Amino acid sequence: MTDTPPDRLSNNPKSPYYEPEHLMRGIGIRFNGVEKTNVDEYCVSEGWVKMAIGKTVDRKGNPLTITAKGTVEPYYQTAAPEADIDPASVDGDA
């Protein structure tokens, strides 16, 4: 896994852009330079985010969202997990 978040990501399991391995690391979003915590889905290349509107839900229980356009800057909130290193390969005497 690289240290760059994906171009498009959703936290809805029904979405084709749902990737739990990225969400487990924690994704932070800066939208137009402001930290946002209510982002449901984002796309960096197209420059938009879908944000929940308060506690309002539709008849199926999904949060109502608005789509806003601007500069999207995703980042990981935690460091990348260290790869398993073989001690024999580190020690030159193996």
Contacts of 26 (CB under 8 A, 6+ apart): 76, 77, 78
For the chain, give the mean pLDDT: 87
User: How far is CA 92 from each of CA 55, 57, 65, 86, 89, rounded to the nearest angstrom?
Assistant: 59, 60, 56, 12, 7
pTM listed for this prediction: 0.78
35 pLDDT tier (thresholds 50, 70, 90): very high
Domain ranges of the chain: 8-77
Q: With pLDDT > 70 as the criterion, what percentage of the chain qualifies?
A: 84
pLDDT at position 79 is 80
Confidence (pLDDT) at 80: 75
pLDDT over 90 (residue 93): no
Q: Please report the pLDDT score of residue 81 as a whole number.
A: 72
Residue with the two structure tokens 């760059």:
4
DSSP state for residue 93 in the 8-state scheme: T
Q: How far apart are CA 79 and CA 30, in angstroms?
A: 18
